């Protein structure tokens, strides 16, 4: 593996730059012709006599020429080298004619077909499957594209500059790397709108979908318009083309892609109606539309020098979409949700064999580094930077970033330098957040004497693969102090920790304060502090910081669940009463109350137990968590019916946050009632639901108590023709299967005629649900491990990217007992022995293998 690794340290500037690119596509499913005319110029930043290496994979080269002189060099497996001796001294024109086969491209990378429509996915290195090109992000060029096809709608990047029967020409004036290239041709229909930018320029907006889906685009369009306005108002960023097109495709490896002026989306993140999409779907659509739109500046106008800098665009763009969703909805609720995701995905990654820095230093397959660490921890690092330099400093740094680097391919060094220049701060130590993997543990203890309260902090980052030794990081610790009445005696203050051990003194206090540490989750660390249940309950009731208020309840629940698993404890009044008070407190946001009622996840619990030196038993965790839910249901029983009734939404469905929060709390209450009424109320809720949130919400309640078969059948006959809705039907049955039935349920569903395993959404909805059912996946029989490995081996030759991504289900093996470890290692070995294994899956399996 190491001999094929690509290293940041080996970066060399490109030998040649590109002045312009012209492409012609003659589309045909199995024999598309790609004609390219590329104007190259030697790169002055890389003096010397260099061959020109062009990337190219799975291409049939018909002919190529340099300034009209045929090229005699032959391509190899990964590209074509134009020897220095054949290159003119100054600028020259390279032309090529290449044939490709989109219809047989199952990897969904490059030019491929989905439901009879042509589309592309070029990030990270897909353009090399379209034609010979220096497929690296630091080579930027303006593109002209001509598409010839009898498909009615022909789209590419930029503005449409000419069109006629059977062809269209698109011109993108903004220099871009090849990974932002896109082309779409199909029988599509547009949901259209318009937008006037802050300087008064009109922009045509279109969301292109298959005929029949045009009625499901309104929410995505509304989200797009709000994103465009927000980026103007918040970051001063204006859109820069005459048109912004979005296309929804059913077969897509990821969520969506920010191609310049032509975003391509997994249809799951575009199409939504109240009847077909849940509140979570609506929120995700809003966030992803915003994310891709925001890339226009953070990613496209300023791109990455190389793929090691991926977090430069992704961390920043996630941070921006999180800010946007907070502004559109509730900052408190959004922060809690983001931290839940961070812990579930990034802390999990950071604590296992796949841990890597936010800016990795080497990779074998870059597609394996579109990770929670690069995205979510990358966003956290920016949040910390903002906390340290303040809102004004952040705004000045961002202005400088856009001014200094517009049109460039930049690095993390460039990014940190704008903060240093704009604020005068030295960020040398802060940079460790980019280079060191692992989640720091922050240990907190206190002293109290003579009106002086002292907080002692100690940071330790555990070793991660390839990085045995860690260094102290700059940790912004937001702190507030409360007195016994719940009044704030110290409002939120950011302490700046820079040493391995550091103490902070607070004097002139009348009474011993109750600290609220790491408010707003001010740094992506694990806070360790011995805290009594009484103190947690106090903070749950009184903390003025909404994140820490929620966190106190969470910690209370996790402490209890841990004791239930290890000591057979049972839920007592401290937790039950504290939670009941929050659940029924009408002065609190219903969305917040719903989050407070959500019990800790089983995977999260396994991670926590492992971190404290206890080998987690998945079956015990599962049973204890259910026991916890039962106790809560009994405690709240007198209130639940009233709560459910009072939260009924009069009037038509709206996806906005307020209504969604009420539905979330209502469903949380319904889930509890279901544990005591045998499903009566949930069955009724399923029957009367007029939106997908309540329909699947009620169904989930029933499945969770082992009922709901007739509702499943009703659901299937109602939605059998709707791919996106049926993905939910597949997932739910597996997620809520009993541990011993999970593998069998999954196997049965893979035999279902609608299980189209070549469609990534459907594959994920089944095999992703298998690994999402913690106790079922880790069932002692090892059946689930085997089943997943079988399917990874089967998918890999067709779609290595998705197979590799789903293999991360095994990344937690080291948490479990020796038997489970051995079972997982056997499966990883079996994957590694698969003939013709892809580089993608091979890299992942090798990194995970003991
Ligand atoms: N840049 C996109 C994510 C993306 C990455 C890779 C893809 O194919 C390998 C597709 C999409 C984003 O951040 O939304
Ligand atoms: Zn992105």
The pLDDT value recorded for residue 3 is 56
Query: For tokens 């137990």, what's the residue?
Result: 609
Rounded Cα gap, residues 423 and 34, in angstroms: 49
Question: Is the Cβ atom of 300 under 6 angstroms away from ligand 1?
Answer: no
Nearest CA to ligand 1 atom 1: 257
Tokens representing 634 are 């009994």
pLDDT of residue 2: 45
Which residue, 60, 20, 278, 318, is CA-closest to 174? 20
Looking at the chain, the number of H-run helices and the number of E-run strands are 28, 30
Joined tokens for residue 214: 């045009």
Pocket test for ligand 1, best of 105, 123, 255, 297 (most atoms within 8 A of CB): 123
What is the average per-residue pLDDT within 584-597? Answer: 98
- Report which of 143, 164, 139 is spatially closest to residue 154, judged by C-alpha positions: 164
pLDDT digits (tens, 9 = 90+) for 195-208: 999 999 999 999 99
Instruction: Give the mutation target among 179, 251, 257 for probing the ligand 1 site: most ligand atoms within 8 A of CB.
Output: 257
User: Which residues does residue 194 pair with via DSSP β-bridges, in sequence order?
Assistant: 204
Q: Which residue has the tokens 């022909």?
A: 154
Write the pLDDT tens digit of every residue in 736-772: 999 999 999 999 999 999 999 999 999 999 999 999 9
Q: What residue's CA is closest to ligand 1, atom 4?
A: 257
Q: Is the peptide bond before 742 cis (omega within 30 degrees of 0)?
A: no
Q: Which helix (H) or strand (E) element contains residue 62?
A: strand 60-66
Beta bridge partners of 162: 169
Residue-wise pLDDT for 641-668, tens only, equals: 999 999 998 889 999 999 999 999 999 9
Decide whether any atom of ligand 1 lies within 6 Å of the 254 Cβ: yes
CB 51 within 8 A of CB 81: yes
pLDDT over 90 percentage in the chain? 99
The closest-lying atom of ligand 1 relative to the alpha carbon of residue 318 is 13
* Residue numbers annotated as active site: 292
For residue 801, the ligand 1 atom closest to its alpha carbon is 9
pLDDT tens-digit map of 305-343? 999 999 999 999 999 999 999 999 999 999 999 999 999
CA 301/CA 260 separation, integer angstroms: 9
Query: For tokens 């079988």, what's the residue?
Result: 790
Q: What angle do CA 262, 263, 267 make, to 5 degrees?
A: 130
Question: How does pLDDT run across 476-511, given as a tens digit for each residue?
Answer: 999 999 999 999 999 999 999 999 999 999 999 999
Kindly state if the Cβ of 379 falls inside 6 Å of ligand 1: no
Cα(708)–Cα(733) distance, integer angstroms: 10
The answer, yes or no, to whether residue 850 has pLDDT greater than 90, is no
Mean pLDDT, range 363-368, rounded to an integer: 98
Determine the atom of ligand 1 nearest the C-alpha atom of 313: 13
Q: Look up residue 369 and give its DSSP letter.
A: G
Work out the pLDDT band at 156, boundaries 50, 70, 90.
Answer: very high
Q: What is d(CA 251, CA 268) in angstroms, rounded to the nearest whole number? A: 10
Query: pTM for the full model?
Result: 0.99
Of all protein residues, whose CA lies closest to atom 2 belonging to ligand 1?
257
Q: How far apart are CA 547 and CA 544, in angstroms?
A: 9
b/e map 643-675, b = 16+ CB within 10 Å = bbeebebeeebebebebbbbbbbbbbbbbbbbb
| C-alpha 143 – ligand 2 centre gap (Å) | 22
**818: pLDDT strictly greater than 50:** yes
- Tell me what pLDDT residue 349 has: 98
The closest ligand to the CA of 317 turns out to be: 2
Per-residue model confidence (pLDDT) at position 478? 98
Strands 526-528 and 441-449: parallel
In sequence order, what are the beta bridge partners of 192? 206
Q: How far apart are the CA of 255 and the centre of ligand 1, in A?
A: 7
Give the integer Cα–Cα distance in Å for 759 and 798: 11
What value does the mean pLDDT of the chain take? 98
Q: What pLDDT is attached to residue 650? A: 86
What is the average per-residue pLDDT within 423-429?
98
pLDDT in tens, 36-88: 999 999 999 999 999 999 999 999 999 999 999 999 999 999 999 999 999 99
Paired strand residues for 444: 457
Helices 692-704 and 709-719, interaxial angle, to 10°?
Answer: 150
Q: Is the CB of 367 under 6 A from ligand 1?
A: yes
Q: How far is CA 242 from the centre of its chain?
A: 29
């Amino acid at each position: 593996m190491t001999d094929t690794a690509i290293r940041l340290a080996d970066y060399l500037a490109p030998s040649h730059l590109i002045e312009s690119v012209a492409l012609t596509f003659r589309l045909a499913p199995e024999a598309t012709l790609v004609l390219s005319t590329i104007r190259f110029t030697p790169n002055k930043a890389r003096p010397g006599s260099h061959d020109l290496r062009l990337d190219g994979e799975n291409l049939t080269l018909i002919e190529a020429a340099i300034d009209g002189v045929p090229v005699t060099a032959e391509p190899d497996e990964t590209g074509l080298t134009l020897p220095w001796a054949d290159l003119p001294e100054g600028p020259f024109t390279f032309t090529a004619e290449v044939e490709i086969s989109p219809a047989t491209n199952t990897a969904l990378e490059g030019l491929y077909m989905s439901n009879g429509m042509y589309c592309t996915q070029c990030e990270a290195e897909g353009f090399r499957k379209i034609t010979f090109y220096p497929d690296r992000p630091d080579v930027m060029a303006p593109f002209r594209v001509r598409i010839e096809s009898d498909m009615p709608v022909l789209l590419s990047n930029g503005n449409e500059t000419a069109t006629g029967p059977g062809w269209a020409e698109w011109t993108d004036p903004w220099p871009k790397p090849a990974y932002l290239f896109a082309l779409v041709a199909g029988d599509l229909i547009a949901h259209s709108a318009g937008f006037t930018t802050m300087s008064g320029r009109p922009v045509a907006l279109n969301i292109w979908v298959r005929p029949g889906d045009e009625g499901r685009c309104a929410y995505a369009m509304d989200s797009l318009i709000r994103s465009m306005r927000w980026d103007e108002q918040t970051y001063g960023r204006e859109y820069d083309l005459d048109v912004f097109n979005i296309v929804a495709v059913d077969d897509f490896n990821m969520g969506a892609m920010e191609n310049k002026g032509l975003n391509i989306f997994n249809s799951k993140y575009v199409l939504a109606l109240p009847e077909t999409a849940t509140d979570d779907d609506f929120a995700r659509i809003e966030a992803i539309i915003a994310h891709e739109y925001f890339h226009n500046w953070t990613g496209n106008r300023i791109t990455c020098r190389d793929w090691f800098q991926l977090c430069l665009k992704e961390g920043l763009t996630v941070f921006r979409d999180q800010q946007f969703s907070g502004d559109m909805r509730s900052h408190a609720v959004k922060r809690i949700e983001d931290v839940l995701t961070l812990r579930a995905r990034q802390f999990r990654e950071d604590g296992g064999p796949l841990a890597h820095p936010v800016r990795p230093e080497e990779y074998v397959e870059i597609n394996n580094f579109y990770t929670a660490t690069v995205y979510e921890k990358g966003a956290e690092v920016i949040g910390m930077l903002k906390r340290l330099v303040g809102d004004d400093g952040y705004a000045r740094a961002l202005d400088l970033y856009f001014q200094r680097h517009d049109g460039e391919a930049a690095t993390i060094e460039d990014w940190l330098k704008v903060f240093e220049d704009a604020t005068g701060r030295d960020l040398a130590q802060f940079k460790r957040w980019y280079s060191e993997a692992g989640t720091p543990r922050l240990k907190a203890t206190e002293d109290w004497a003579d009106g002086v309260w002292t907080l002692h902090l100690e940071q330790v980052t555990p070793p991660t693969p390839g990085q045995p030794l860690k260094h102290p990081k700059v940790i912004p610790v937001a702190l507030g102090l409360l007195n016994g009445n719940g009044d704030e005696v110290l409002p939120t203050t950011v302490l700046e920790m820079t040493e391995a051990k550091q103490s902070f003194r607070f004097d002139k206090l009348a009474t011993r304060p109750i600290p609220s540490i790491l408010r707003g989750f001010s740094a992506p660390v694990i806070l360790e502090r011995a805290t009594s249940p009484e103190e947690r309950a106090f903070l749950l009731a009184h903390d003025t910081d909404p994140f820490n208020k929620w966190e106190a309840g969470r910690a209370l629940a996790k402490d209890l669940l841990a004791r239930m698993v290890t000591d057979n404890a049972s839920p007592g009044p401290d937790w039950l009463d504290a939670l009941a008070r929050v659940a029924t407190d009408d002065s609190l946001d219903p969305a917040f109350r719903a989050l407070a009622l959500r019990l800790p996840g089983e995977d999260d619990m396994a991670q926590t137990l492992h971190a404290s030196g206890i080998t987690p038993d998945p079956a015990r965790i599962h049973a204890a968590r259910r026991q916890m839910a039962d106790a809560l249901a009994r405690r709240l029983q007198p209130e639940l019916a009233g709560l459910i009734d009072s939260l009924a939404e009069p009037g038509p469905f709206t996806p906005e946050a307020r209504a969604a929060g009420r539905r979330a709390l209502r469903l949380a209450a319904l889930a509890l009632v279901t544990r005591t009424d045998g499903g009566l109320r949930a069955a009724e809720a399923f029957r009367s639901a007029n939106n997908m949130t309540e329909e699947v919400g009620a169904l989930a309640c029933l499945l969770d108590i082992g009922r709901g078969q007739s509702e499943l059948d009703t659901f299937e006959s109602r939605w059998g023709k709707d791919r996106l809705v049926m993905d939910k039907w597949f997932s739910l049955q597996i997620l809520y299967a009993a541990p011993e039935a999970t593998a069998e349920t999954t196997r049965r569903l893979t035999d279902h005629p609608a299980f189209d395993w070549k469609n990534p959404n459907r594959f994920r909805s089944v095999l992703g649900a298998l690994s999402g059912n913690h106790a079922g996946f880790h069932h002692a029989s090892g059946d689930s491990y085997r089943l997943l490995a079988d399917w990874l081996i089967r998918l890999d030759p067709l779609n290595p990217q998705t197979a590799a991504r789903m293999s991360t289900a095994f990344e937690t093996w080291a948490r479990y007992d020796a038997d489970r470890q051995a079972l997982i290692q056997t499966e990883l070995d079996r994957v590694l022995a698969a003939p013709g294994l892809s580089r993608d899956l091979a890299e992942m399996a090798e990194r995970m293998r003991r």
